[in-house]
Amino acid sequence: MLKITDQEFKQLTAYIKQNFGIHLQAEKKTMLTGRLQSLLLSKNFTRFSEYIDYLLNDKSGEARMELVEKITTNHTFFMREADHFFFFRDHVLPELVQNNQEQDLRIWCAACSTGEEAYTLAMIIADYFGADKGRWDTRILATDISQQVLETARKGIYSLERIAPLPAAWRNKYFHKLDGENAVLSSSIKNEVIFRKFNLMEPVFPFRRKFQVIFCRNVMIYFDWETKTELVNKFYEHLEEGGYLFVGHSESLNREKTKFEYIRPAVYRKSNA
Amino acid sequence: MRITTKFVVGFLVMALLTCLLGYLGIVNVQQMMAADVSAAEALAEQLILVTKIAMAAAVLIAIILGTVMAGTIHKPIKQMMEAAEKISRGIIDVQLPTEAKGEVGQLAVSFAQVAANMRELADAAAKIARGDLAVSISAKSADDVLGGSLQELLQVLKRLMSELKQLYEQHAEGEIDALIADEQFNGAYREVAGGINDGYRLYVSTLRKILAVLTGYAEGNFSVSLERLPGKLAQANEGVELLRQNLQNVIDETVTIAGLTAAGALGVRGDADELYGDFKRIITGINETLDAITDPINEAAQVLSAIAEGDLQVSMTGEYQGDHAIIKKALNQALANFNELLANILEAAQQVAAGSKQISDSSMALSQGAAEQASSIEQLTASLEEISGQTKHNAENADKVNKLAVDAKGHAQQGTEEMQEMLAAMAEINRSSQNISKIIKVIDEIAFQTNILALNAAIEAARAGQHGKGFAVVAEEVRNLAARAANAAKETTELINGSIEKVNDGAYIANQTAAALQKIVADIDKMADLVQQIAAASTEQAAGISQINTGIAQVSRVVQGNSATSQESAAASEELASQAEMLKQQVAGFKLKTKAAGQDTAAGEELGPQLEQILAELPEQEPAAEEQAEQEQAYLEAAAAAEPKILLSDLEFGKY
């Protein structure tokens, strides 16, 4: 197994932080070397410094994407931190619908991983509108930096074990059994989510209009304080007045420094001017 | 004029004077009723004066009468005549000749006696006329009509006087219905008494009318009015009307003031300018009363206005008596209590504000810490989840490897068996090769013979000349074939020899391989054991990790709960702090008398010992390691500098 020197680790983690915002501390050394082991072997590198040179000279972006796939943790599951979905269903969505002249919902899952969160929101919205959706455009934007998870997400195929936490009504209504172990989402839900690759470290967010709701949960736990603050400020800029930001339950904002108004744990709001 | 007539005139004058006196008395009594005691005294003196004047007038008349009577006697007769003439003229003070004797003398004496009698009577009459009823008159005889009449007159006068006195006394005692019993008098005296009675009746009835009106006024009925009285009595009309007006004015003014005061216009005062005397005093008294009432009320109103504007530094300072002093004291006490209360509230609010601010800060720190914990655990959970997957995968792979090992073992054993078969086959090959060698020798000999035959055929073809040319070509070909066959046989021999050698080598190797395969079989056995162990261990690991996951998930829930709770607590204490701040500001809106100003900052720093202890026990945030951060910054910059701009994001986001 290839070992990493302290210097190499620092160089590599600095690179990772610079490009993806992920903050790897010393205790993550074993994890990092473990995850990159096979990659280095497959590329016949004998030292991490060679791999770092390879990364720094990467012109196509391919090396970077390989690294992303290796170092991102894409742990998620249906109904993760379910309180948020209930709050969205019972308070946020009715409010959005009521105050919306254009019949356009703009909701962003800023780190969608394998799509569970975005699809859950899509199902909540589908339930809310029922047959009366009319001209409403309720498509959700779901982004992640990892191509792999996006591909999984687009397929909309989940093991029966994974969809078990969902209400039986949803499983019956929005999923079709594929085989003994897997089910696939109906296209009516799949079409409601626009999956795109997006790096939250982009210096400029390219979106045309401001969002009404942003979900960015359990991503910023991998970021350091500064990166997190910067990102939260960008979210603030890209939210409409009165828009909501949902973060993970372990990602609370510093209430004295943020411009967001605290609504309840891990739910914040951009105040009306 | 006769003396009797003069007397009568004198008495009548006196009677008239008395009547005048009586009249004046009645008037004065009426005035006395309206006026006070001092005025009564003045009136009494006036009465006495009038009486004296009347008496003097009576005396004057008597003197005139005496002089006239005395002056008529001129030298006894003449003197007497003169006296008689004087006497006849009513002059009783006559000079009679004292020296005259005789009849004249006697006459003179008699005359003198008559004169003396007359003088006596005249004196008495003069005294009576002057009002001196203390005279005693005795009749000189039963026929002394003059003396008797005078005596009777005196008695009548005395009775009249007595009746008058009694009448006066009765009236003075309020017996206004009392009258002179006029039936005991005769003639003019009855008339006099009747006149007096009429006068009294008239005045009493007038008095009653006035009294009725006054009673009406007293009962508050101002609609009654006094009928127009004649002459100077009209003064009573004026007086009563004035009284009514004054009373009406006073009442109107009082009612107006009372009404306005009741309506809250405490600044209204009665207009006393048009009133006089005690009526003026009533209004000025009411005004003074109002002043006395409104002064403290005004001050209280000012103080209350100041309080309403938040100024609690005021107090009532005026000097007041009785209930006003109680109001002042109560208001000042209330103010003092408010001051103390608000100062206490301010102090408490400051403490709560400071305390809740600290709690808020600490909760925030706690929340931050809890969030960091939660985020670490979240990362841990995510990693463990992945490790769990990998471990499961490992176990599955180990299972597969185990199966593969079993297969491999079978295959290796099969290989060993097949190796034996191969060895046998190779021996067979060896034998066959040797047989082939023999066959090749035969072929070689055949080739040699064929070559010779071809040579012979070539010679024979040459002999045949032109016709043997074709045969020569065939012979040449045959010879070539023979050569090739020989060559092939030679090569084949070499090959066969090589083959035999190789088969021998192969047999050796195959023997070795068989041995190696035997070893492999043994190793695979061992490996399969180990892999089985790995599979078992991996399964155990997976189970263990699953348990760890469950545990971590529990810890995660708790930590997330802590994070949420501390956020909520931070929010609640923030809310508390802002409420306390609001309370503080509201109380600060009051200007307080006591110590409040200096406390604003001081009290905030002083917390209860318990609170301080709690706050001291709260965890402190650790400062970040700086030197490490610096180096990381350097690497970051290097990474940034080396970074070519490659997009890691899509360029198109549908409707977004």
- In the stretch 215-244 of chain A, residues with CB closer than 8 A to chain B read 218, 220-222
Cα-only R_g, chain A = 20
> Does residue B492 lie within any of the structural domains?
yes
Which of the two residues, B564 and A269, has the higher pLDDT score? A269
Q: What Rg do the C-alpha atoms of chain B give, in angstroms?
A: 84
Rounded Cα–Cα distance for residues B549 and B569 (Å): 29
The helix-helix angle for B322-463 and B469-588 (nearest 10°) equals 180
Same domain for B492 and B561, yes or no, is yes
CA distances from B310 to A99, B313, B331, B647 (A): 44, 9, 15, 66
pLDDT at B2: 46
Mutate which: A249, A257, A262, A269, vs B, most B CBs within 10 A? A249
Q: What is the crossing angle of helices B145-172 and B187-218, to 10°?
A: 10
What percent of chain B clears pLDDT 90, i.e. is strictly above it? 1
Q: Which of B270, B312, B267, B316 is nearest to B296 (CA)?
A: B316
Nearest to A75 by CA among A138, A173, A144: A144
Dist CA B543 CA B556 (whole Å): 19
Question: Coil, strand, or helix at residue A184?
Answer: strand
Nearest CA in chain A to B646: A61
Number of domains in chain B: 3
Residue the block writes with tokens 């005259």: B100
Only one residue has tokens 């209430």, namely: A255
In the numeric block, the tokens 């040449």 are attached to: B476
Nearest to B645 by CA among A202, A68, A148, A66: A202
Q: Do B654 and A196 touch (CB under 8 A)?
A: yes
Residue A196 DSSP code: E
CB of B49 closer than 8 Å to CB of B62: no
Can you tell me the ipTM of this complex?
0.75
**pLDDT confidence of residue B104:** 62
Compute the distance between CA of residue B3 and CA of residue B123 in angstroms, rounded to an integer. 12
Domain coverage including residue B241: 235-309
Q: How far apart are CA B128 and CA A206, in angstroms?
A: 147
CA angle (A77 as vertex; A73, A81 as ends), nearest 5: 100
Strand order in the sheet with A182-185: A157-159, A182-185, A175-177
For residue B638, give the amino acid letter: A
- Please indicate whether, in this complex, the C-beta atoms of B567 and A262 are within 8 angstroms of each other: yes
SS3 A211: strand
> Are A265 and B563 inside 8 Å of each other by CB?
yes
State whether A73 and B567 contact (CB < 8 Å).
no
Chain B residue closest to A137 (CA)? B655
Q: What pLDDT is stored for residue B617 in this prediction?
A: 58
Q: Which residue has the tokens 């008596």?
A: B321
Selection from B636, B623, B574, B611 nearest residue A254 by Cα: B574
Q: Does A139 touch chain B (CB under 8 A)?
A: yes
Interchain contact B625–A (C-beta under 8 A): no
Domain boundaries, chain A: 6-71, 82-156+192-269
Cα–Cα dist B131/B58, whole Å = 8
B326-371 per-position pLDDT tens digit: 988 999 998 888 888 888 888 888 888 888 877 877 777 787 777 7
**Same domain, residue pair B419 and B284:** no
Contacts by B414-423 with C-beta closer than 8 Å and gap 24+?
B415/B513, B415/B517, B416/B514, B416/B517, B416/B518, B416/B521, B419/B510, B419/B513, B419/B514, B419/B517, B420/B514, B422/B510, B423/B507, B423/B510, B423/B511, B423/B514
Average pLDDT of A177-184?
92
- Domain match, B22 and B51 both: yes
Mutation target among A250, A251, A255 for the B interface, most CBs of B within 10 A = A250
Verify that B217 and B241 share a domain, yes or no: no
Query: Each residue of A218-231: pLDDT tens digit?
Result: 888 888 888 999 99
Do B391 and B282 fall into the same domain?
Answer: no
Pick from B358, B368, B378, B622 the residue to mutate for testing the A interface (most A CBs within 10 Å). B378
H/E element holding A212?
A: strand A211-216
Does pLDDT of B267 surpass 50?
yes
Rounded CA gap, B558 and B104, in Å? 170
Chain A residues inside the 8 Å CB shell of B574: 255
Please list every residue in chain B whose beta carbon sits closer than 8 Å to the beta carbon of residue A137. Answer: 655
Q: Rounded distance, CA B31 to CA B39, Å?
A: 8
Where residue B270 falls (left for φ over 0; alpha for ψ -120 to 50; beta otherwise) is beta
Taking phi over 0 as left and psi of -120 to 50 as alpha, with beta for the rest, A59 belongs to alpha
- Check: CB of residue B91 under 8 Å from CB of residue B69: yes
Q: Residues B15-55: pLDDT tens digits? A: 676 677 677 667 766 766 666 666 667 767 777 787 788 77
Q: Is the pLDDT of residue B509 over 50?
A: yes
**Calpha distance A239→A267 (Å, rounded):** 14
Q: Give, as one character, the DSSP assignment of residue A89.
A: I
Most confident among A7-16, A73-82, B55-64, B460-469 (mean pLDDT): A7-16
Q: Determine the average pLDDT of the residues in B206-227.
A: 85
Contacts of B369 in chain A (CB under 8 A): none
Residues A91-117: what's their mean pLDDT? 92
Of A131-145, A163-177, B310-324, B567-581, give the lowest mean pLDDT range: B567-581
- CA dist B339 and B329 (Å) reads 15
A256, amino acid identity: E
Q: Provide the number of CB pairs (under 8 Å) joining chain A to chain B.
A: 136
The residue among B53, B49, B96, B102 whose CA lies nearest residue B75 is B96
What is the 8-class DSSP label of residue A220?
G
Instruction: Report helix, strand or coil for A263.
Output: strand
> What confidence tier does A243 reach under pLDDT thresholds 50, 70, 90?
very high
Q: Is B625 helix (H, G, I), strand (E, B) or coil?
A: coil
Chain B touched by A162 (CB under 8 Å): no
Among B177, B198, B224, where does a domain finish?
Answer: B224
Distance of alpha carbon B207 from alpha carbon B589, whole angstroms: 73
Check: CB of residue B503 under 8 Å from CB of residue B433.
yes
- Phi, psi at B497, each rounded to 5°: -60, -45
Q: What is the pLDDT of residues B582-596, one digit of tens each?
A: 888 888 778 887 654
Least confident stretch, A150-159, A226-235, B261-270: B261-270
Token code pair at residue B559: 């930590």
Inter-chain contact B636–A14, Cβ cutoff 8 Å?
yes
Domain boundary among B175, B199, B224: B224
Nearest chain B CA: its distance from A25 CA (Å): 11
Residue B466 has pLDDT above 60, yes or no: yes
CA distance A121 to chain B (A): 17
The beta-carbon neighbor of A202 closest among B371, B386, B649 is B649
Q: Which residues in chain B have Cβ-Cβ distances shorter than 8 Å to A20?
A: 648
In sequence order, the 6+-apart residues with CB closer than 8 A to the CB of B539 are: B395
Q: Do B571 and A13 touch (CB under 8 A)?
A: no
- Total residues belonging to chain B: 656
Residue B423 has a pLDDT of 83
The reply to whether residue B386 touches residue A145, judged by beta carbons under 8 angstroms, is no
Nearest to B87 by CA among B103, B68, B110, B100: B68
Other beta carbons less than 10 A from residue B493's beta carbon: 16
CB contact under 8 A, B374 and A68: no
The residue count of chain A comes to 273
Predicted pLDDT of residue A246 = 96
Q: In this complex, do B635 and A248 lie within 8 Å of one another by their Cβ atoms?
A: no
- Could you give the CA distance from residue B50 to residue B620 in angstroms, rounded to a whole number? 120
Residue B375 vs residue A33, higher pLDDT: A33
Tokens for B298?
A: 């005004």
In angstroms, the separation between the Cα of residue B372 and the nearest Cα of chain A is 7
pLDDT of residue B579: 82
Distance between CA B517 and CA B525 in Å, rounded?
12
C-beta atoms of B564 and A265 within 8 A: yes
Q: Which residue on chain A is closest to B382 by alpha carbon?
A: A75
Question: Which residue among B378, B640, B646 places its CB closest to the CB of A248?
Answer: B378
What pLDDT, on a 0 to 100 scale, did the predictor assign at position B636?
Answer: 66
d(CA B467, CA B293): 181
The contacts of residue B599 (CB under 8 Å, 6+ apart) are: B343, B346, B347, B350
Pair B255, B212 in one domain: no
Instruction: State residue B641's pLDDT score.
Output: 58
In chain B, % of residues over pLDDT 70: 82
Q: CB B568 to CB A265 under 8 A?
A: yes
Pairing of strands A182-185, A175-177: antiparallel
DSSP A203: S
Decide which of B196, B224, B252 is a domain's last residue.
Answer: B224
Residue from B287, B283, B294, B198 nearest B246 by CA: B283
pLDDT score of B248: 83
Same domain membership, residue B242 and residue B370: no
Here the CATH number for the domain that contains residue B394 is 1.10.287
Instruction: Kindly determine whether residue A31 and residue B383, on different chains, have CB atoms separated by under 8 Å.
Output: yes
Tell if the CB–CB gap between A198 and B649 is shorter than 8 Å: yes
In angstroms, the separation between the Cα of residue B637 and the nearest Cα of chain A is 8
Contacts of B556 in chain A (CB under 8 A): 250
Nearest residue of B to residue A208, measured between CA atoms:
B656
Q: What is the DSSP string of B246-302?
A: HHHHHHHHHHHHHHHHHTT-TT-----TT--HHHHHHHHHHHHHHHHHHHHHHHHHH
Nearest C-alpha neighbor of B643 from the set A56, A247, A112, A250: A56
User: Between A273 and B514, whose confidence is greater?
Assistant: B514
Give the pLDDT confidence of B596-651 residue by residue, as tens digits: 444 444 444 455 555 556 555 554 444 445 666 666 667 666 666 555 455 678 88
Mean pLDDT of chain A: 90
Q: Out of B227-241, B379-393, B508-522, pick the least confident.
A: B379-393
Q: For A82-156+192-269, CATH number?
A: 3.40.50.150
**What is the topology classification, in CATH, of domain A6-71?**
Chemotaxis Receptor Methyltransferase Cher; domain 1 (1.10.155)
Interface of B with A in 334-393 (CB under 8 A): 364, 367-368, 371, 373-379, 381-383, 385-386
A-proximal residues of B, 529-588, CB under 8 Å: 556, 559-560, 563-564, 567-568, 570-571, 574
Q: What is the pLDDT of residue B28?
A: 67
Which of A173-187, B152-166, B557-571 has the largest mean confidence?
Answer: A173-187
Task: Provide the mean pLDDT of chain B.
Answer: 78
- Whether B338 is in a domain gets the answer no
pLDDT at B605: 46
Average pLDDT value for residue range B231-256 = 84
What pLDDT is attached to residue A197? Answer: 94
Q: Regarding predicted confidence, which is higher, B244 or B98?
A: B244
Residue B473 located in a structural domain: yes
Q: How far is CA B263 from the centre of its chain?
A: 25
